[in-house]
Amino acid sequence: MADLYQVENLRLSFPDLTRKPLLGAAPRTEILKDLSFTIPRGEILGIVGGSGSGKSTLGRVLVRLLEPSAGTVHFDGRDITHLAEAELRPLRRRFQMIFQDPMSSLNPRHRIGRLIAAPLRLHGADDPEKGALEALDQVGLPRSFASRYPHELSGGQRQRVGIARAIALRPDFILADEIVSGLDVSSQAQVLALLERLVAELGLTLAFISHDLSVIRRLCTRILVLHRGEIVENAVTAELYANPRAAYTRELLDVIPLPDPDQPWI
Ligand code: ADP
Ligand code: MG
């Protein structure tokens, strides 16, 4: 099967507590509106859109931190739309998520080696410590970093640790949500080049969420443009730039300076 993900008629709504009446349930606001798309294996799918367009919500549905209100999500041919946590647990190793600052959610008193080994231990890996060291190798950090603490690392190094944690589990899919937004331009370029290499070397499928179309353009093979919870564009990268179909995409392209696609990462 070529597609790792198949998403059909996905809808998601949250109760709108600002409009909650004194009695009865709050009315619901629809955040994701009838989304259908696939993520082919090996693809780097960019998910772009303005703030509040539903990018993170969509990402959380893909890794089933959120349950859809309607529609279906298939992962590797399996319907995961409404799986209970116990059924999801063996699958969780296969879809990993990296956040903007992965270390901010981790225990600052634990050393890097332990932080990377933790999910390996949780999923019953044979030798979590060895797995953590190998993951450090793969993201280009010295093994000596295993004994350091998060605050001793730069933002770019911490982001590499976040990536190491995710790939240590040998997942099929990684969701990266605004992971370079807090970094300076040269650290951004290094992290993106690393991701590109890992996708190729490890045969990963990646969904990369960003509000920055210039970053998406360099990295992604396909781009999905979200606008107010709807897909307004879903095209391979070159096609989207050559022929942006949605008015919203044209607006996005207009406001963002284009990087030179022939230049390597800065
Ligand atoms: P993006 O990542 O594109 O900036 P989000 O997916 O975070 O957008 O949010 C989309 C919309 O959903 C926003 O209007 C946000 O306020 C709303 N939202 C997100 N999470 C929740 C939640 N848990 N409860 C209610 N509303 C939410
Ligand atoms: Mg977001």
pLDDT value of residue 248: 82
DSSP at 191: H
Q: How far is the CA of 228 from the centre of ligand 2 (A)?
A: 13
Domains of the chain in start order, with CATH, are 43-68+88-254 (3.40.50.300)
Percent of the chain residues past pLDDT 90, beyond the cut:
72
Q: Kindly give the number of the ligand 1 atom that is closest to the alpha carbon of 58.
A: 6
| Nearest protein Cα to ligand 1, atom 6 | 54
Residue nearest to atom 7 of ligand 1 (CA): 56
Q: Which ligand is nearest to the CA of 227?
A: 1
Which residue, judged by its Cα, is nearest atom 26 of ligand 1?
14
- Tens digits of residue pLDDT in 22-72: 888 888 899 999 999 999 999 999 999 999 999 999 999 999 999 999 999
The CA distance from 122 to 113, in Å, is 14
The protein residue with its alpha carbon nearest to ligand 1, atom 16, reads: 52
Which helix (H) or strand (E) is 188 found in, with range? helix 185-202
Closest CA to 117 of 105, 100, 130: 130
Q: pLDDT band for position 266 (50/70/90)?
A: very low
Stretch (H or E) spanning 135: helix 128-138
Please give the Cα distance from 45 to 240 (Å, whole number): 13
Query: Residue 259 pLDDT more than 80?
Result: no
In angstroms, what is the span from residue 146 Cα to ligand 1's centroid? 35
User: Distance between CA atoms of 218 and 261, rounded to whole angstroms?
Assistant: 7
Going by alpha carbons, the residue nearest to atom 19 of ligand 1 is: 57
Is 247's pLDDT higher than 90?
no
pLDDT score, position 245: 82
Looking at residue 257, its pLDDT comes to 55
Cα 229 to averaged position of ligand 1 atoms, centre (Å)? 10
CA atoms within 13 A on the CB side of 120: 23
Amino acid symbol at 154: S
Rg of the chain over CA atoms, in angstroms?
Answer: 19
CA distances to 1, 18, 135, 137, 242 from 177, rounded to whole Å, are 26, 27, 20, 23, 26
Whole-model pTM? 0.92
Tell which wins on pLDDT, 246 or 163.
163
147 Cα to the center of ligand 2, angstroms: 32
Confidence at residue 240, expressed as pLDDT on a 0 to 100 scale = 87
The shares of helix, strand and coil residues in the chain, as percent rounded to the nearest 5, are 40, 25, 35
d(CA 154, CA 108): 14
Point out the ligand nearest to the CA of residue 99: 2
Minimum-distance ligand 1 atom for the alpha carbon of 50: 3
Work out the average pLDDT over 193-198.
96
Has residue 110 got a pLDDT over 50? yes
Mean pLDDT of 133-148: 97
The per-residue DSSP string of 192-207 comes to HHHHHHHHHHHT-EEE
Please give the pLDDT value at position 209. Answer: 97
- Give the CA count within 13 Å in the CB-facing half-sphere of 81: 15
The alpha carbon of 141 and the centre of ligand 2 are apart by a number of angstroms equal to 28
| Residue partners of 259: CB distance under 8 A and separation at least 6 | 214, 217, 218
d(CA 214, CA 145): 32
Q: Is it the case that residue 262 has pLDDT exceeding 70?
A: no
Residue recorded with tokens 């009838």: 34
pLDDT value at position 241?
A: 83
Query: What's the rounded Cα separation, in Å, for the pair 78 and 95?
Result: 13
Residues with CB under 6 A from ligand 1: 14, 31, 49, 51-57
Spatial neighbors of 247 by CB under 8 A, at least 6 apart, are: none
Partners of residue 116 on adjacent β-strands: none
Q: Which of 161-170, 207-216, 248-257 has the lowest mean pLDDT?
A: 248-257
Pick the atom of ligand 1 nearest to 17's CA.
Answer: 25
Residue 255: pLDDT band with limits 50, 70, 90: low
